C-alpha cells in the first residue's frame, strides 16, 4: 500500500524592481581626435560615452577658450557627443572646451561634472595658470558667478564693451576664479557682473572690476579684484512726478553735487535727499503746471514742466479740508531716554504755525500724572521738521497728544488731525558704551562707520589728521544697544565725506575700505574698551 503525501505551498508574488538604480555619471570611452591632441586641424570632435547622454543648459554651461567668433555646434546623439567648428581656429593656441554640468545621462539625469576636452593647434599644450578672488569693493564680501575675462594686451579699454573676452572663467561661491592652459603672454584682466549674459560690459548698468596693470600668468601671482558699480557718466533727470498738493519730486540717475539754485513761480522751498539724487519741491499755486528751473555750477540749467492737479481740484480739496499735515515721528512704544520727540512733516511749516497750547505731554509715574512744560524747536535749517523739548525722565511713561490744528498754516489751508503717542523711556542701564582706539595706516582723511550685525549704520564719523598729530584716534560711542558690532573705515581720498566708487575708463579704483571682521560684543550696562589696527 502506497501512501502519497502531497505538500502544497502558496506562491508569493513580488514586483519586479528593475534592478538597482543607476547613480553613476556617464564616462567617456574614446575621443577622436584624442584628448590633449597636438597640431589639431579637425573641424569636428567626436566623443563616445558608455551610456546614452543628453545636454542640459548647454548655452550657459559651455565655455570655450580662447573664444571663437561663433559657438561650435554641439549635438548629443545616443552615446555620441559631436562638436563641430564653423571657423578657422587660432594657430599655435591651446583650446579648452569646458562643459560644466551640461552632460547628463539620458534616463537618471546623473551629471558628468566639469567635463573638459583639450587640444592645441600648435606643437605644445600651454600649461600656465592664473587664479585670484573678487571681493565687493565696499563690504569686502566675495562675489559669486562673475564673468572673469582675459583680453589681449594691446586691446583698447573699450574692448570690454565691444568684444567678448579671449579667455573666460567664473567665480565660485567664495569669489575665487582660476584659468589654466594659458600661454606665456600678457593680458588685460577684467571681472564683469554680466547680468544679461552677453559676455560684454554694459556700463553702469552692471558692475566691474579690473587689474590696473597687464598680467602674465607666468609670474605665478594671484590677482585679487575689487568689484564696483560706476557712477553714470551722463547726468539726466530720470523722472519727475506730482506727490500731493504742493509737493513734487525730481529724481536723477546719479547724485547731483553741483545744484546751485531752483527757481519756480510760487516755489516755497526745496530739499535734497541724503544721496543727492532726488529733489523735493514745495510750492503754493493754483495752476495746472509748475515749471521749475534748476541751475547748476558746471552745466546748463534744466527747465521742466510738471503737471499738477487743476485749480478746480485744489479748491475742492481745500473746501473739503483734505489738504493735511501728516506726521512721521521717532516715537514708537519705546523712546531712548536721551532722545527728544521729533517730527517730520510732509510739507514745510514755520514756527509761528505750530501752536504749543494745542499739544500736551503727560508724565505718569505709578498712578501720579503730571503735565509737562514743552517748547517747540525747529531742527536747524530743515523746513519741515521740529522737536518737542521737555524734561523726560528715564523709565517713565508718557502720553503726547497733538490736537487738531496744532499745526495750522492758514495761508496755505493746511492743518493736522488729532494724534496721540504713548511711550516709555528707557534706562541708561539698557545701553553699553564702546571706547574704541583706532590705529590708522597713515595720516589721511577717513570715514569711520559703526555697524550692527545687520549691517545697519549706527554712527558715522569723519576723521582728519593734522601733520603734528599721531595716527591714532579714540572713538567714544555712548548709549549703544547691546549686541555685536563691526567697524568699517573708508579712506576718504577726495575728502568729500563719502565713499567714492571707481571709474574704469579713468583707471580709478574705488576708495580703500578696511573692515574689522571680528565682532565687538557689547553688553548692557558695560563700558567696553577695544583696539584695532586699521589694515
Please give the radius of gyration of the chain, using alpha carbons only, rounded to the nearest integer.
35
Cβ within 8 Å of residue 44, ≥6 positions away: 82, 83, 84, 85
pLDDT of residue 20: 61
**How does residue 4 score in pLDDT terms, banded at 50, 70 and 90?**
very low
C-alpha cell recorded at residue 139 = 563690504
How confident is the model over 247-267, as a mean pLDDT?
92
Q: Is the pLDDT of residue 11 over 80?
A: no
Q: Is the pLDDT of residue 6 over 50?
A: no
pLDDT of residue 505: 93
pLDDT of residue 5: 40
pLDDT tens-place string over residues 477-510: 999 999 999 999 999 999 989 999 999 999 999 9
Q: Is the pLDDT of residue 15 over 80?
A: no
**How does residue 274 score in pLDDT terms, banded at 50, 70 and 90?**
confident
Cβ within 8 Å of residue 4, ≥6 positions away: none
More confident residue, 22 or 395: 395
CATH code that applies to domain 432-533: 2.60.40
Residues linked to residue 133 through DSSP beta bridges, in sequence order? 176
Q: Which residues of 410-506 form beta strands (DSSP E)?
A: 414-416, 419-425, 432-439, 446-452, 457-463, 472-480, 483-491
Q: What is the pTM of this model?
A: 0.82
**How does residue 8 score in pLDDT terms, banded at 50, 70 and 90?**
very low
Cβ within 8 Å of residue 128, ≥6 positions away: 180, 181, 182, 183, 184, 217, 218
Rounded to an integer, what distance in angstroms lies between the CA atom of residue 486 and that of residue 416?
42
pLDDT of residue 10: 44
Q: How far is CA 81 from CA 72, 161, 393, in A?
A: 12, 34, 79
Backbone dihedral region for residue 501 (phi beyond 0: left; psi -120 to 50: alpha; all else: beta): beta
Mean pLDDT of the chain: 91
Rounded to an integer, what distance in angstroms lies between the CA atom of residue 259 and that of residue 301?
9
Contact 474, 436 (CB under 8 A): yes
pLDDT tens-place string over residues 310-343: 767 777 777 777 789 999 999 999 999 999 999 9
pLDDT of residue 528: 96
Q: Which of 1-15, 111-125, 376-390 has the lowest mean pLDDT?
A: 1-15
CATH code that applies to domain 324-429: 2.60.40.3710
Rounded to an integer, what distance in angstroms lies between the CA atom of residue 203 and that of residue 208?
9
Place of cell 499755486: 285
Q: Which of 244-253, 266-275, 279-288, 521-530 has the lowest mean pLDDT?
A: 279-288
Statement: 128-227 belongs to CATH 2.60.40.10: yes
Q: Is the pLDDT of residue 18 over 60?
A: no
Q: Is the pLDDT of residue 381 over 90?
A: no
User: From 2.60.40.420, 2.60.40.1220, 1.10.645.10, 2.60.120.10, which CATH number describes the 28-120 domain?
Assistant: 2.60.40.1220
Contact 34, 28 (CB under 8 A): no
Residues linked to residue 409 through DSSP beta bridges, in sequence order? 414
Rounded to an integer, what distance in angstroms lies between the CA atom of residue 295 and that of residue 261?
5
Q: Which of 17-26, 47-56, 145-154, 363-372 has the lowest mean pLDDT?
A: 17-26
Exposure letters 460-479 (e unless 16+ CB within 10 A, then b) = eeebebeeeeeeebebebee
Rounded to an integer, what distance in angstroms lies between the CA atom of residue 21 and that of residue 352?
83
Contact 142, 174 (CB under 8 A): yes
Q: Is the pLDDT of residue 367 over 50?
A: yes
Contact 163, 177 (CB under 8 A): no
Compute how many other C-beta atoms are within 10 angstroms of the C-beta atom of residue 456: 8
**How does residue 19 score in pLDDT terms, banded at 50, 70 and 90?**
low
Architecture of domain 237-319: Sandwich (2.60)
Rounded to an integer, what distance in angstroms lies between the CA atom of residue 283 and that of residue 309?
13
pLDDT of residue 506: 93
pLDDT of residue 309: 77
Where in the chain do CATH 2.60.40.3710 domains reside? 324-429
Burial of 333 (0-12, 13-18, 19+ CB in 10 A): exposed
**How does residue 22 score in pLDDT terms, banded at 50, 70 and 90?**
low
Amino acid at each position: 500500500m502506497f501512501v502519497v503525501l502531497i505538500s502544497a505551498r502558496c506562491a508569493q508574488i513580488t514586483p519586479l524592481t528593475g534592478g538597482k538604480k543607476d547613480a553613476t555619471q556617464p564616462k567617456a570611452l574614446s575621443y577622436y581626435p584624442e584628448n590633449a591632441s597636438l597640431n589639431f586641424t579637425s573641424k569636428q570632435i567626436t566623443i563616445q560615452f558608455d551610456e546614452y547622454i543628453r545636454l542640459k543648459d548647454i548655452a550657459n554651461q559651455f565655455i570655450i577658450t580662447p573664444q571663437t567668433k561663433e559657438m561650435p555646434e554641439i549635438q548629443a546623439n545616443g552615446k555620441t557627443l559631436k562638436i563641430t567648428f564653423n571657423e578657422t581656429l587660432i594657430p599655435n593656441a591651446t583650446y579648452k572646451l569646458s562643459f560644466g554640468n551640461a552632460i547628463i545621462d539620458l534616463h537618471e539625469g546623473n551629471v558628468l561634472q566639469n567635463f573638459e576636452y583639450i587640444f592645441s593647434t600648435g606643437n605644445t599644450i600651454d600649461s600656465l595658470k592664473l587664479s585670484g578672488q573678487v571681493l565687493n569693493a565696499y563690504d569686502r564680501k566675495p562675489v559669486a558667478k562673475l564673468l572673469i575675462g582675459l583680453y589681449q594686451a594691446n586691446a583698447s579699454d573699450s574692448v570690454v564693451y565691444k568684444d567678448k573676452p579671449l579667455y573666460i572663467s567664473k567665480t565660485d561661491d567664495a569669489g575665487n576664479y582660476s584659468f589654466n592652459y594659458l600661454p606665456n603672454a600678457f593680458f588685460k584682466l577684467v571681472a564683469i557682473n554680466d547680468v544679461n549674459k552677453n559676455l560684454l560690459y554694459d556700463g553702469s548698468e552692471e558692475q566691474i572690476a579690473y587689474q590696473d596693470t597687464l598680467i602674465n600668468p607666468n609670474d605665478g601671482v594671484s590677482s585679487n579684484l575689487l568689484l564696483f558699480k560706476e557712477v553714470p557718466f551722463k547726468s539726466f533727470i530720470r523722472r519727475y512726478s506730482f506727490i500731493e498738493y504742493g509737493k513734487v519730486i525730481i529724481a536723477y540717475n546719479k547724485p547731483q553735487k553741483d545744484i546751485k539754485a531752483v527757481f519756480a513761480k510760487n516755489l516755497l522751498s526745496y530739499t535734497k535727499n541724503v544721496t543727492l539724487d532726488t529733489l523735493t519741491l514745495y510750492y503754493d499755486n493754483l495752476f495746472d503746471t509748475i515749471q521749475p528751473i534748476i541751475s547748476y555750477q558746471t552745466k546748463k540749467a534744466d527747465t521742466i514742466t510738471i503737471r499738477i492737479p487743476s485749480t478746480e481740484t485744489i479748491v475742492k480739496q481745500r473746501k473739503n479740508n483734505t489738504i493735511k499735515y501728516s506726521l512721521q515721528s521717532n516715537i514708537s512704544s519705546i523712546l531712548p531716554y536721551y532722545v527728544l520727540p521729533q517730527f517730520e512733516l510732509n510739507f514745510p511749516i514755520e514756527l509761528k504755525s505750530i501752536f504749543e497750547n494745542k499739544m500736551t505731554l503727560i508724565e505718569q509715574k505709578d498712578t501720579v500724572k503730571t503735565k509737562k512744560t514743552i517748547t517747540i524747536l525747529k531742527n536747524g535749517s530743515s523746513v519741515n521738521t521740529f522737536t518737542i523739548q521737555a524734561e523726560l525722565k528715564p523709565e517713565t511713561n508718557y502720553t503726547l497728544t497733538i490736537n487738531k490744528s496744532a499745526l495750522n498754516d492758514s495761508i496755505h489751508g493746511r492743518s493736522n488731525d488729532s494724534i496721540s503717542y504713548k511711550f516709555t523711556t528707557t534706562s541708561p542701564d539698557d545701553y553699553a558704551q564702546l571706547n574704541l582706539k583706532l590705529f590708522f595706516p597713515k595720516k589721511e582723511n577717513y570715514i569711520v562707520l559703526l555697524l550692527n550685525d545687520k549691517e545697519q549704520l549706527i554712527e558715522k564719523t569723519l576723521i582728519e589728521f593734522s601733520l603734528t598729530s599721531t595716527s591714532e584716534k579714540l572713538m567714544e560711542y555712548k548709549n549703544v544697544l547691546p549686541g555685536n558690532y563691526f567697524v568699517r573705515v573708508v579712506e576718504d581720498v577726495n575728502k568729500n565725506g563719502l565713499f567714492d566708487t571707481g571709474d574704469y575708463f579713468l583707471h580709478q579704483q574705488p576708495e580703500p575700505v578696511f573692515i574689522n571682521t571680528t565682532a565687538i560684543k557689547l553688553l548692557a550696562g558695560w563700558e567696553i574698551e577695544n583696539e584695532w589696527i586699521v589694515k
